[in-house]
Amino acid sequence: MLFGRTTLSKFVIEHTRGQHSEMGALLIDVAAAVKTISALVGKGALSGFSGTAASTNVQGEEQKQVDVLANEAMLRHCEWGGQLAGMASEELEEAYRIPDNYPRGRYLLLFDPLDGSSNSDVNVSVGTIFSILSRCTAAGDAETADFLQPGYEQLAAGYAIYGPATMLVLSVGDGTHGFTLDRESGNFILTHPDIRVPEDTREFAINTSNERFWEPPVQRYVSECKAGKTGVRGADFNMRWIASLVAEVHRILMRGGIFMYPKDNKDPAKPGRLRLLYEANPMAMLIEQAGGAASTGRQRMLDVEPQALHQRVPVILGSKNEVERVERYHREYDSGDDRPFVSPLFSERSLFRENA
């Protein structure tokens, strides 16, 4: 029976007592928004909101109606409680100002209301990602500069995944923990305490259709994985790609792996594809708190200094030893230490090392 089991409400109250007790109330509001979005997404085409919204977001991406509704759910559930100085969303160009009739607090909430929404029409798992910061200024409405904090300043981060079950995965700085929504009671129940990511893996996730645009270090890593037992790694790897960040990270937290959305030259104006503040940073915190690693390839993700609200970055995260290997390949490439490799078949030169 569920009696006596740890609910999300009990967990956040116990883990935010003291200096950040008000953050517990904010997390409960986030969970309420997640339940609303879960119900909406779970209806699929029956909701009547499965089409496009005839609009684009600040990134120029076509919005679906469920994107707009999920964004509204997060705003409405979280704006009123008095914990927030402001919010920022993937769907809004500027920071969201708390309405005048609501009290203000010291926290900042950043979120992607429906990550992977392009998959919603084909019934693939989608999710919500969020991050909580403490504001730098003392009073008044939050400004864009308040949100531009490196990831190591996050007080809490999490995501919800809407799949066969709805789960909320959360860290408040003392590990990564998973809660499953019990649809009968309406409570999130702690089902995955202290999640740990294995340090080693034989599974990688990347969109190989972009291979011709990758930098040589990523090409080197993926070519070694694809070579399997006959290559320098001496082991077979499985490849995965869902095109939903939440689903990719959830799989890694459950069984290990490495996810890569690296820098490429397909669009030189974009240094990466994923947004730093409300996608990469919260996922990096969750992965690190579970014993994994998260990087841009050249820098720890949580150390990146944000320059803009919707800044994009390369993302490489997951099992620690594989992330460190990809970072090493970037260092060797940048320093020119990659030894040329001469193919006995084609006599072509390559930047890739022959040894592991």
| Residue 171, domain CATH | 3.30.540.10
103 and 81, same domain (yes or no): yes
58 and 179, same domain (yes or no): yes
CA gap 49, 43 in Å, rounded = 9
User: How far is CA 87 from each of CA 64, 109, 161, rounded to the nearest angstrom?
Assistant: 21, 5, 21
186 and 221, same domain (yes or no): no
| 225 within some domain | yes
| 74 within some domain | yes
218 and 336, same domain (yes or no): yes
The total number of structural domains in the chain stands at 2
Strands (E), 92-219: 107-115, 126-134, 156-162, 166-171, 177-182, 187-192, 203-205
DSSP element (H, E) containing 269: none
**Can you give the pLDDT at residue 346?**
47
- Strands 312-313 and 274-275 come out as antiparallel
Return the half-sphere exposure (C-beta side, CA atoms, 13 A cut-off) of residue 321.
8
Is the pTM higher than 0.85? The answer reads: yes
**Can you give the pLDDT at residue 37?**
97
**Can you give the pLDDT at residue 341?**
45
pLDDT above 50: residue 192: yes
166 and 269, same domain (yes or no): no
Per the structure, the complete domain to which residue 335 belongs is given by 203-350
CA gap 154, 132 in Å, rounded = 6
| 217 within some domain | yes
**Can you give the pLDDT at residue 55?**
60
Q: What would the mean pLDDT of 175-196 be, rounded to a whole number?
A: 97
**Can you give the pLDDT at residue 45?**
82
**Can you give the pLDDT at residue 52?**
64
Average pLDDT value for the chain: 91
